[in-house]
Structure formats: structure tokens, C-alpha cells
């Protein structure tokens, strides 16, 4: 369960968290936090790839040398480019905490399995094989790896002391504590230098070296404690410090500044994504030694770069746009140059942590043969993961992913859709549309989308698909759009309340009855008016549509009436004061559900309902129910089970249809379906995810509510076969899609909120909604 909204502290066994204000105690939140692995792609490089560092060959701008790419990001003419591949890691490594190339070239990764047990794995053959060592009873907030393979685990501060466990290369361990400048201060960043000195930055502004034998301070950096330092990295005895407006280099032996790196400042500090971003593990930019002691390479979401000390330019070695590193939220765990033709980068793109290898192929065509343009209104880690999978399989296709609405461009929905329509009509539109939030029916009627039955049939034959969703997507024997993920609405409470959840009116009646019992703070899980309206919009909206396509005023009126009855039962002043409503359900590239199971478990309410966005959320709901005695069922109105499409894909007629269909096949396929975000329509992937929860090792999750110090602990348990079968049956029984056109959704939610909060009367609100929606549909 992930939440962008609720005020809570969460910790898990073996993976503990404490939160103080904005500080998250465990730096490895589950899939929600992502942490990213990333990296590189094509570009023309000559045989002497590093010999021209610091000499602008032309085409570089803003202090950055280009490696020979066209304006659109595709490679220039000729042959030669880096080929990306994902390195197979031991099955124990589910997430990466740190990656380091040791002084002898051995690759070392510190990581965790699915149950948060820690392992150190090493490879002496470039990732071909791995030696795995488990570590017991390790608690951490930061991890650092030295050049000889020594690992430092820095724990959370207790009574002004930061405990540190050192695991030496030979496996021996010892501990010490670092004295913090304040009781609540903690270490925010840590890294070893080549002298095995541990460089740390604390939250009070101190930056200093630590002797790893006893925890004593060895050197204090001569830098103003008020200087904002989000992170740093160490290469040899050079500490590269990123501040809000500069990149500085300090000598770790003296603590003195050696250089202000103007070229790196222009490259890094001009991008807020690389400065003003906190990470739970890893860094937005990671540095490593290049071909000699006077040069470095560094990796971020824009690519892999080379810099020579004292130089005026940064050279782009690998362009990030066409690789796993292209997500601006990517987090890096380490970079390594094995030689001039072989690079490694470890990171996380929000959906998975991985190690990538980049090998220069002098015979590979630098020009990609085809171009595939994909358009989505909003960014999605899951979508980007599918793009990465597609690029691995179709290395000769240049993939351009365009996001219509971002935090940076500030484009609103109406403007994004108008621009998209203009581009399509002009013949400059994308080849694939991710149709979430778009007027799908209108696009079908206008002939914008082509039939993709052949793709759906192929995936269905190999993996199976949720048949009811395929059936719902079929119009007159053709499929123009297919959801590749979906969400379903559930309710959890006592049996009588769950039974009432088959009718919105019956549920409102039941909730009003429950309100007579004042034993809990709230009757219903705390939600803003917009969230309540969206929950029941997802359940009921398809039922409002009449045969002529207009909205039924009577059904809209009943929807608003029942939601207001439910809203009026509780005091919403707290959640309305601090809550944020995400109309798309997306936040930081992740699709969120609205059911979290924790308020009911904490006995703060009597009933919870909303969408479930991940199969793992069923385990949380069932585990919580083991203790609180709650049962669950599908939330519906009139007994018809609705679903919310996610990553609904269509191929644009007249574009690169073959490549477009190949991408939809990838997005719908089992490998992409293994992603944890969204319930996969791919049946094989869905069954794998459900079955994985039957063998899960016991863990727990502790949390608080609204900043309270009181902690609640849910003990996770494995799902039984009976429970797994029941959940699969419920998911496969969905019958109809909610209305997905976000223009309609926004009109309903915006005007409905005024009514639910008592600012407008029912008749006025219904008239406004139906008039504006019907006018929009008639356009």
C-alpha cells in the first residue's frame, strides 16, 4: 500500500522506519519509493572514446559535449554505439542499496531480498556469476562500500549517537558510534574515500571524516554549516559536493576545497531534479573514477558523462533518453567504467532496482532504423518500465515517450488534449496513445485508433488475459483500446456492512446506523469530499450513460445524494485542511488506490472502501483483517462490478502501426505485467503475483496516524489457497469500465464537491453537471 496523502509513520521488520518531520527512518520503502536503475544508450563514439575529453568537437551546448546525436536524440550517421543490457543478479537481490567496483575490478552489491534480509554479492567476471553472503541482524539508514569491499551500515540515531556496523571484506564485524551534534540529528549521506575514511554529512550541517576503527572524527570540512548540501559522492580522496547552486570538490584528507567545478555546476545545478530531491537510498547523481586519476564519469537520468579535472566542458558518453535511465526520478547506486568500451550503472527507475551493462559495439548502426512515438497525459513508472523492456527487444527502434502534463510544463488537461488533437489531425501525432483520461469513444468514432485484435489474441493465446476485460473492450468484433492494468473497488468492515456495499443507498443507510455508535473517531476512513466522490464515481459512473450517450439526471442525482449522506456522517475538517486530491490518481509516477486498511485496523473507523491498485494490497487487507476481524467484498452499485482501466493502450491509424502494435504487446505481456503497480490484465502475470503472496515470509508493518507517537503493527501473513482463488475470481468477474474521460470526471467531481460540502443545492448541481457534460459530449 502506498499513499501520497495520509499522515502516517510506517516501519517494517528488518526494514525499520521512523519519521521525524520529513525524515524517513527506513531508506528502503517498498515499491512506492522507488529507487531507480538507469541508463544509457546510443551514440557515436570513435575508437579513442576518451582521448578527446575537454576538447569540444562541436555540437556541445551549455558546457556539454555531444557524442554525435541528432537533434531528435537519435544517433548520428555511421556505425558504433553502446548496447544496453540488464545484468542478471542473484535471486536474493530484490532491491539494491549500494553498488561499487572494488580496486581489483570486482563488482560488489549490497542489497535486500523481498523480506528485507541483507546480502552482499560479488562478481569477479563482470556480472557473469555471483558469490552471495547473507548478513544477519543488520539495521541501517545508510550504507557505504569501500574500495576493498568493506561495508558500513549506519543506523538511526539513538540518544545522540549513530550506531555503525562495519563488515570487513573478510566477513569480520565490529561496531562503534558516531556522536551527533544533537539528539535528533542523523547521518543523511555517507561514503568511503580510498583511505577507508568514512565521510558523513549530518542533518545539522556537519561534514566530516570518521575513523572506522573507533568512530572518532579525523577531519572536519571547511564549509559553512548553513550551506545546503543535498548529497555528495567520493572518488578516491576527492569529495564531490552538490549544493543548491554549485558543485564543489574537497580533499578528504585535509577537508579543504580544491576546486569549484563550473562545468559540473552548469550540468547539475541547472536541473532541480538533480538538486532539490530527497532520496531514500542512492543519489540523483553518482560519480566514479574514469580512465585515470584526473578524470571522472558520472551518471544521472540524462545519461553518463565524462569530465577531466580542470576542464571547461562535460562530455556526454551515453544519452539517457533511450535507456532505463530516462526517468527524472531515477536514483543511482553507483557507476563504474571497466574500460573505454564497457560501463556499468546501478539504479532504480521507480519500479525496479537493477544493474545495467553498456558495451560499445563498433559494428552496430548508429542510426536507428525506425522511430516509435508514444504519448501519455501523465508519467508512469510502469509505462517507462515497459518502454525499457521494449527497447531491450527492439534495439533498432528509436522510442520517444512524450508526457503531456508534467510538473515542469504546467500544461492543463484541456490544453494537452487540444494540442494532441491538433498534432494528430496534422499527421504529426504519436504512434501509440496511453488513453488514460482521454475521450476514447470519440477517438474510436473519428477513426483515430486502429484495430488491435491481433495483438490481444496473440497475448491471450500465450499468457491468457482477464476475459471479462477483453470482452468489455470489444466493440463490434474489434478492439481499439485495451487496458493493460486495472483497479477494482473493495469494501472492508463487518459482514453486514460489506453486504450493504452492493448498493450505494444501502451502504449510506448502514453507515448512518453505524454512526450511532461513537466508539471510533470516524465512521468511514478519512477522505476528502473529492475522494469520496471519486470512489463512487468509479463504482457507478458507467450506469449513468443512456443509450444516446448522454447522462441520466436521475442517476447522477442519486449518486450525489448518497455520497453526501456518507460525507455528512463524519467531521472532515482535518483531512480537508491538509489533504491533497490527485484527480488522475497518479503521484510521482505511481498509480494509487484509495483503500489502505490501516484506519480500520487502528480502530479509528468502522468501514473502509476504495480502489485497490496492487495485488500486494490484498495481503495488507487480509493481514489487517486477521486481527480486527474485518471481512471484505467488492464495492458496487446494483451488483455490477466495475473496474478502473490503467495504462489503456491504443495504436494510432496511419502511423508506425507495426511498431505500435509490438509495443502494446510488450505492455500487455507477462514481463511488463510483473510490475507491482496496477493489477495486470495479463492472466499469467496476475496469477504469479497472487501466488507469490501465498509463500511470503512473515513480516510486519508498523505505522502511526496523524503524527501521533502511538504505533500500530500489522503482522503480515501468507495468503491461503482459498483466499488466493477467491481474489482471482473476484478480479476476473469485473464487468464494466468506469467512465475514463477525465474531462467528464473532473466536471462531476468539481461541481459535486460544492454540493457535498453544502455550498450548492442538489438540483443546481445536477443541472450544471449534466448540462456541461452533455454539451462536451456533443462537441
Of 57-66, 387-396, 751-760, the least confident: 57-66
**Within a domain: 433:** yes
Lowest mean pLDDT among 548-562, 572-586, 748-762: 572-586
CA 283 to chain centre: 15
Q: Which residue has the higher pLDDT, 511 or 65?
A: 511
146-164 burial: b if 16+ Cβ within 10 Å, else e: bbbbbbbbbbbbeeeebbb
In a domain, 746, yes or no: yes
* pLDDT tens-digit readout, 119-132: 999 999 999 999 99
Cell numbers linked to 685: 502475470
The alpha-helical segments, DSSP class H, found in 241-283 are: 262-268
Residue with the bigger pLDDT between 281 and 370: it is 370
Range in 224-228, 426-430, 625-629 the model is least confident about: 625-629
Least confident of 53-67, 148-162, 716-730: 53-67
* 472 in a structural domain: yes
CA distance 662 to 396: 13
**Is 33 a member of any domain?**
no
pLDDT in tens, 524-551: 999 999 999 999 999 999 999 998 889 9
Grid cell in block for residue 164: 555503525
The three-point CA angle 726-728-733 to 5° equals: 95
What average pLDDT score do residues 683-707 get? 82
Please tell me the predicted confidence (pLDDT) of residue 65: 53
pLDDT number for residue 243: 94
pLDDT above 90 (res 679)? yes
How does pLDDT run across 308-328, given as a tens digit for each residue?
988 889 998 988 877 787 777
Residue-range definition of the domain harbouring residue 546? 486-645+694-778
Decide: 440 and 481 in contact? Cβ < 8 Å: yes
Q: Please check whether residues 436 and 347 belong to one and the same domain.
A: no
> Does pLDDT of 712 surpass 60?
yes
Name which residue leads in pLDDT, 164 or 21.
164
Q: Does 667 lie in the same domain as 595?
A: no
Same domain, 448 and 566: no
Residue 625 lies in a domain: yes
The domain boundary, picked from 626, 655, 686, lies at 686
Q: Are residues 501 and 462 in the same domain?
A: no
Confidence of residue 697 (pLDDT cuts 50, 70, 90): low
The residue-averaged pLDDT of 226-239 equals 94
Do residue 108 and residue 160 come from a single domain?
yes
Say yes or no: 612 and 635 in one domain.
yes
pLDDT band at 214 (very low <50, low <70, confident <90, very high): very high
pLDDT of residue 625: 82
**Average pLDDT of span 467-488:** 97
Count of domains observed in the chain: 3
Residue 353 within a domain: yes
Window from 67-76, 391-400, 457-466, 698-707 with minimum mean pLDDT: 67-76
Residues 712/8, Cβ–Cβ less than 8 Å: no
Indicate if the pLDDT at residue 501 is higher than 90. yes
The CATH number linked to 456 is 3.40.190.10
Model pLDDT, residue 574: 85
Based on the domain organization, do 556 and 472 belong to the same domain? Answer: no
What is the C-alpha to C-alpha distance for residues 52 and 57, in angstroms, rounded to an integer? 8
Using the 3D structure, point to which of 633, 666, 686 is the last residue of a domain: 686
Do 495 and 523 belong to one domain?
yes
Instruction: Name the residue with higher pLDDT: 323 or 178.
Output: 178
Q: Is the pLDDT of residue 30 over 70?
A: no
The closest alpha carbon to 351, from 38, 662, 119, belongs to 38
Q: What number is the average pLDDT over the span 242-261? A: 94
Name the packing angle between helices 453-462 and 657-668 (round to 10°).
30
| Residue 43, pLDDT score | 33
pLDDT higher at 569 or 73: 569
Average pLDDT over residues 64-68: 48
**Rounded-to-integer distance, Cα 596 and Cα 744, Å:** 26
- Dump pLDDT digits (tens) for 627-677: 778 899 999 998 889 999 999 999 999 999 999 999 999 999 999 998 779
Task: Report the percentage of the chain scoring pLDDT > 90.
Answer: 67
Look at residue 20 and tell me if it is in a domain.
Answer: no
pLDDT of residue 701: 78
Looking at the fold, whether 273 and 409 belong to one and the same domain comes out as no
CB burial of residue 683 (10 Å; 0-12, 13-18, 19+): buried
Same domain, 503 and 618: yes
For the ranges 248-252, 595-599, 618-622, the one whose mean pLDDT is highest: 248-252
Mean pLDDT of 699-720: 80
> Do residue 548 and residue 584 come from a single domain?
yes
What is the mean pLDDT of the segment spanning 276-291? 86
Place of cell 450517450: 549
Confidence of residue 93 (pLDDT cuts 50, 70, 90): very high
Within 249-356, residue ranges assigned H as helices are 262-268
Residues 468 and 336 in one domain: no
Average pLDDT, the chain: 87
Report helix angle 529-540 to 504-514, nearest 10. 140
Measured between alpha carbons, how far is 533 from 535 in angstroms, rounded to an integer? 6
pLDDT at 366: 65
Residue 15: pLDDT over 90: no
Mean pLDDT of 205-223: 95
Position 367 confidence tier, pLDDT thresholds 50, 70, 90: low
**pLDDT tens readout for residues 563-610:** 999 999 999 988 887 777 777 888 888 899 999 888 888 899 999 999
CB 514 within 8 A of CB 523: yes
pLDDT value at 494 more than 50: yes
Q: Is the pLDDT of residue 71 over 70?
A: no
pLDDT above 50: residue 35: no
Has residue 225 got a pLDDT over 80?
no
CATH code (residue 114) = 2.120.10.30
Residue 736 lies in a domain: yes
Amino acid at each position: 500500500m502506498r499513499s501520497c496523502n495520509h499522515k502516517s509513520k510506517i516501519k517494517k521488520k528488518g526494514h525499520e522506519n521512523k519519521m521525524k518531520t520529513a525524515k524517513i527512518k527506513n531508506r528502503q520503502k517498498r515499491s512506492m519509493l522507488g529507487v531507480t536503475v538507469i541508463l544509457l544508450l546510443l551514440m557515436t563514439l570513435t575508437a579513442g572514446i576518451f582521448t578527446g575529453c575537454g576538447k569540444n568537437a562541436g555540437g556541445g551546448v551549455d558546457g556539454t559535449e555531444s557524442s554525435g546525436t541528432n537533434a531528435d536524440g537519435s544517433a548520428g550517421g555511421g556505425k558504433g554505439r553502446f548496447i544496453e543490457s540488464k545484468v542478471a543478479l542473484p535471486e536474493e537481490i530484490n532491491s539494491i542499496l549500494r553498488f561499487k567496483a572494488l580496486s581489483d575490478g570486482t563488482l560488489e552489491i549490497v542489497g535486500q531480498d523481498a523480506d528485507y534480509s541483507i546480502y552482499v554479492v560479488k562478481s569477479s567476471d563482470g556480472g557473469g556469476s555471483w558469490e552471495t553472503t547473507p548478513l544477519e541482524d543488520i539495521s541501517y539508514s545508510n550504507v557505504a562500500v569501500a574500495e576493498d569491499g568493506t561495508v558500513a551500515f549506519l543506523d538511526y540515531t539513538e540518544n545522540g549517537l549513530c550506531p555503525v556496523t562495519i563488515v570487513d571484506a573478510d566477513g569480520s564485524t565490529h561496531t562503534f558510534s558516531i556522536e551527533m551534534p544533537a539528539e535528533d540529528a542523523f547521518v543523511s549521506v555517507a561514503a568511503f574515500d580510498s583511505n577507508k575514511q568514512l565521510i558523513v554529512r549530518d542533518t545539522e550541517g556537519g561534514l566530516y571524516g570518521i575513523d572506522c576503527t573507533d568512530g572518532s572524527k579525523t577531519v572536519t570540512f571547511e564549509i559553512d554549516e548553513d550551506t545546503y548540501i543535498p548529497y555528495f559522492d567520493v572518488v578516491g580522496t576527492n569529495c564531490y559536493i552538490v549544493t543548491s547552486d554549485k558543485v564543489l570538490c574537497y580533499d578528504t584528507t585535509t577537508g579543504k576545497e580544491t576546486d569549484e567545478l563550473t562545468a559540473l555546476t552548469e550540468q547539475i545545478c541547472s536541473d532541480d531534479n538533480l538538486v532539490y530531491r530527497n532520496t531514500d537510498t542512492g543519489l540523483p547523481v553518482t560519480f566514479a573514477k574514469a580512465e585515470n586519476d584526473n578524470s571522472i564519469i558520472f551518471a544521472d537520468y540524462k545519461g553518463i558523462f565524462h569530465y577531466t579535472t580542470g576542464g571547461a566542458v562535460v562530455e556526454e558518453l551515453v544519452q539517457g533518453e533511450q535507456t532505463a535511465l530516462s526517468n527524472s526520478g531515477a536514483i543511482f547506486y553507483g557507476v563504474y567504467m571497466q574500460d573505454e568500451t564497457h560501463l556499468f550503472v546501478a539504479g532504480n527507475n521507480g519500479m525496479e532496482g537493477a544493474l545495467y551493462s553498456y558495451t560499445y559495439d563498433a559494428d552496430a548502426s548508429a542510426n536507428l532504423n525506425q522511430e516509435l512515438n508514444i504519448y501519455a497525459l501523465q508519467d508512469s513508472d510502469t509505462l517507462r518500465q515497459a518502454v525499457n523492456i521494449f527497447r531491450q527487444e527492439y534495439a533498432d527502434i528509436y522510442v520517444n515517450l512524450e508526457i503531456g502534463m508534467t510538473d515542469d510544463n504546467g500544461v492543463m488537461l484541456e490544453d494537452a488534449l487540444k494540442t494532441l488533437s491538433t498534432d494528430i489531425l496534422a499527421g504529426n501525432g504519436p504512434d501509440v496513445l496511453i488513453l488514460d483520461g482521454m475521450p476514447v469513444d470519440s477517438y474510436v468514432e473519428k477513426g483515430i485508433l486502429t484495430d488491435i485484435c491481433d495483438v490481444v489474441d496473440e497475448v491471450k493465446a500465450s499468457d491468457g488475459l482477464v476475459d471479462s476485460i477483453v470482452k468489455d473492450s470489444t466493440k463490434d468484433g474489434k478492439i481499439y483500446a485495451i487496458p493493460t492494468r486495472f483497479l477494482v473497488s473493495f469494501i472492508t468492515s463487518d459482514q453486514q456492512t460489506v453486504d450493504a456495499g452492493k448498493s450505494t443507498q444501502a451502504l449510506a443507510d448502514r453507515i448512518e446506523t453505524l454512526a450511532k455508535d461513537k466508539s471510533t473517531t470516524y465512521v468511514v476512513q478519512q477522505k476528502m469530499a473529492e475522494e469520496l466522490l471519486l470512489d463512487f464515481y468509479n463504482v457507478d459512473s458507467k450506469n449513468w450513460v443512456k443509450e444516446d450517450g448522454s447522462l441520466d439526471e436521475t442517476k447522477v442525482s442519486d449518486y450525489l445524494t448518497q455520497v453526501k449522506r456518507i460525507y455528512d456522517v463524519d467531521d472532515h475538517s482535518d483531512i480537508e485542511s491538509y489533504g491533497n486530491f490527485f484527480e488522475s490518481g497518479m503521484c510521482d509516477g505511481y498509480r494509487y488506490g484509495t483503500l489502505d486498511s490501516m484506519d480500520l485496523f487502528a480502530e479509528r473507523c468502522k468501514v473502509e472502501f476504495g480502489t485497490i491498485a496492487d495485488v500486494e494490497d490484498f495481503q495488507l487487507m487480509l493481514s489487517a483483517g486477521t486481527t480486527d476481524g474485518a471481512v471484505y467484498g467488492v464495492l458496487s452499485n446494483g451488483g455490477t462490478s466495475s473496474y478502473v482501466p490503467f495504462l489503456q493502450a491504443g495504436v494510432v491509424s496511419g502511423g508506425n502501426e507495426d511498431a505500435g502494435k509490438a509495443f502494446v504487446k510488450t505492455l500487455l505481456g507477462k514481463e511488463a505485467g510483473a510490475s507491482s503497480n496496477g493489477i495486470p490484465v495479463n492472466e499469467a502475470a496476475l496469477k504469479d503475483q497472487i501466488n507469490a503472496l501465498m509463500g511470503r515470509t512473515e513480516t510486519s508493518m508498523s505505522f502511526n496516524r496523524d503524527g501521533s507517537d502511538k504505533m500500530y503493527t500489522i503482522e503480515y501473513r501468507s495468503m491461503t489457497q482459498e483466499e488466493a482463488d477467491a481474489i482471482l475470481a473476484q478480479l476476473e468477474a469485473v464487468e464494466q469500465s468506469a467512465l475514463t474521460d477525465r474531462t467528464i470526471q473532473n466536471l462531476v467531481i468539481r461541481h459535486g464537491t460544492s454540493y457535498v460540502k453544502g455550498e450548492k443545492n442538489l438540483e443546481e448541481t445536477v443541472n450544471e453537471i449534466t448540462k456541461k457534460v452533455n454539451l462536451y459530449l456533443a462537441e
